[in-house]
Structure 1
Amino acid sequence: MARAGAILRVTVRTVGELLVTFSVLLALFIVYQLYYTNVVGRQAMDHEVASMHRQWTDAPPARAAPAAPHGESAPAVAPPPPAVLHNGDDVAILHIPRLGSGIGAAGIPVLEGVGLDILNKATGHYPGTALPGQIGNFSVAGHRKTHGEPFRHLDEMRAGDLVYVETAQAWYTYRIDADPVIVQPTDLGVVDPVPGEPGVRPTQSLITLTTCNPWWSSTQRMIVTGHLIATGAHP
Structure 2
Amino acid sequence: MAAAVVVVGAAQRERPSAPAVVASLLGELLVTAGVLVLLFTAWQLWWTDVVADREQAVTTAALVDDWRSLADGRPVAAASAVPPALADPAPGAPFALVHVPRFGPDWDPRPVVEGTSVDDLQAGVGHYPGTALPGEVGNVALAGHRNTYGRPFHEIAELRPGDPVVLETAEGWFVYRATTAEVVPPSRVEVVAPVPGDPSAVPVERLLTMTACHPIGSARERYVQHAALDRFVPRGAGAPAELAGGAA
| Per-residue deviation, 1:5 | 4.2
Letter in 1 for 2:205: Q
Equivalent residue runs for 1:143-154 within 5 Å: 143-154=145-156
Secondary structure in structure 1 of the residue aligned to 2:147: coil
Q: Which amino acid aligns with 1:190?
A: V
Alpha-carbon displacement from aligned partner over 1:167-224 (angstroms, at most 9, x marks no partner): 000111111112x310110111111111111132211110000000011111110000
Partner of 2:25: 14
Q: Which residue of 1 aligns with 2:137?
A: 135
In 2, Cα distance between equivalents of 1:38 and 1:90: 19
SS at match of 1:229: strand
The answer to whether structure 1 residue 44 and structure 2 residue 48 are counterparts is no
Q: Distance in 2 between matches of 1:231 and 1:80?
A: 9
Whether contact under 8 Å (1:42, 1:147) holds in the other structure is yes
Higher helix share: 2
Superposition pairs of residues 75-114 of structure 1, within 5 angstroms: 76=80, 78-103=82-107, 105=108, 107-114=109-116
Any conservation in 2 of the 1:110–1:122 contact (CA below 8 Å)? yes
Q: Return the letter of the residue paired with 2:202.
A: R
- Would the alpha carbon gap of residues 227 and 77 (structure 1) be closer, same or farther in structure 2, given more than 3 Å must change? closer
Between the aligned partners of 2:226 and 2:157, the Cα distance in structure 1 is 12
- Cα pair 1:42 1:121 within 8 Å, conserved: no
* Residue 155 of structure 1: aligned partner: 157
The structure with more radius of gyration: 2
The C-alpha deviation readout for 1:102-130, integer Å capped at 9, x for no partner, is: 33x2x111000001101112000000111
Deviations 1:50-81 (A, max 9, x none): 12112222126xxxxxxxxxxxxxx6174333
Deviation at 1:82, TM superposition (A): 4.7
Matched with 2:199 is 198
1:98 maps to amino acid: R
Deviations 1:121-155 (A, max 9, x none): 20000001111111110110000001100000001
Matched, 1:175 2:177: yes
Q: Which TM-score applies when normalising by structure 2?
A: 0.82
Q: Which residue is 2:231 aligned to? A: 230
Count of aligned pairs? 218
Structure 1 residues without counterparts, runs of 5 or longer? 61-74
Judge which range, 193-202 or 5-14, deviates more: 5-14
Q: Is structure 2 residue 87 aligned with structure 1 residue 122?
A: no
What secondary structure sits across from 1:172 in the alignment?
Answer: strand
| Pick aligned residue for 2:71 from 59, 64, 79 | 59
Q: 1:59 to 1:77 in 2, by over 3 A?
A: farther
Q: What amino acid does structure 2 have at the position aligned with 1:138? A: V
The CA RMSD over aligned residues, in Å, is: 1.9
Q: Secondary structure at the match of 1:120?
A: helix
